[in-house]
Amino acid sequence: SQTIHQWPATLVQPVGSPLSLECTVEGTSNPNLYWYRQAAGRGLQLLFYSVGIGQISSEVPQNLSASRPQDRQFILSSKKLLLSDSGFYLCAWSVHSNQPQHFGDGTRLSIL
Amino acid sequence: AQTVTQSQPEMSVQEAETVTLSCTYDTSESDYYLFWYKQPPSRQMILVIRQEAYKQQNATENRFSVNFQKAAKSFSLKISDSQLGDAAMYFCAFTDSNYQLIWGAGTKLIIKP
């Protein structure tokens, strides 16, 4: 069966520090991969999605970037975090864009 | 613009009763997919049910069923025999022309014992 791992679960970072959140999927090949951000009490905002290695699409211009160095690995990064980067970050995968997305447990990011 | 509207920020229901969560959406596409996800306090996002827009038959999944009205662009979720474990935020979503999900703001469902 397929599983998705996302870490860390919680992260507290100072303003201006770098960020690296990692997500890996097991049990499937060439998945679509997604990074979302969820503000408190709100729906999900798509940040990045990828349909293959090295193929990244950005939905929202921001302080963040994403990379897919391996087929089942998706990384969310920032060189310098802003206060507005605080939130709950979710990684997800799907077999195809029109198939249900399956989510990791999320990372709660707090910027001080 | 493609949007999803969940007009009920919060709903409450007595345990074992039935509740319906509303969702309307706006799209010019004729072929798309609709989803309901639940997010319990643990914050994990869990798929509840999926509906293909080209199918007239409403999807069902155990105690969960939808009322899909394509012309009205309405996609409500009915939960029968509500259980305490159903307490969560419920999000409605559909695929846009690029097959990316457009999400509603969510409805918080409270189950009264």
* B48 has pLDDT over 90: yes
**If DSSP codes are grouped into helix, strand and coil, which group holds residue B86?**
helix
A16: its two tokens = 């201006």
A100 and B100 in contact by Cβ < 8 A?
A: no
pLDDT digits (tens, 9 = 90+) for B79-94: 999 999 999 999 999 9
pLDDT digits (tens, 9 = 90+) for A15-52: 999 999 999 999 999 999 999 999 877 789 899 999 99
Per-residue pLDDT, averaged over A8-18, amounts to 96
Of the candidates A41, A59, A90, the beta carbon closest to that of B45 is on A90
Q: Which DSSP letter does residue B89 get?
A: E
* A61 has pLDDT over 70: no
A18: its two tokens = 């770098």
Per-residue pLDDT, averaged over A49-78, amounts to 91
Residue A20 backbone phi and psi in degrees, to 5: -145, 115
Of the candidates A41, A46, A90, the beta carbon closest to that of B100 is on A46
Which residues of chain A are within 8 Å of residue B46 when distances are taken between CB atoms?
A: 103
Which residues are CB-neighbours of B71 under 8 A, at least 6 positions away? none
Residue recorded with tokens 């474990």: B85
Confidence (pLDDT) at A54: 87
Pairing assessment for the beta strands A73-78 and A87-94 based on DSSP bridges = unpaired
* B1 has pLDDT over 80: no
Distance from CA of A112 to the nearest CA of B (A): 22
* B50 has pLDDT over 90: yes
Cross-strand bridge partners of residue A20: A77
Cross-strand bridge partners of residue A24: A5, A73
Average of per-residue pLDDT values in chain B: 94
* B55 has pLDDT over 80: yes
Confidence (pLDDT) at A5: 95
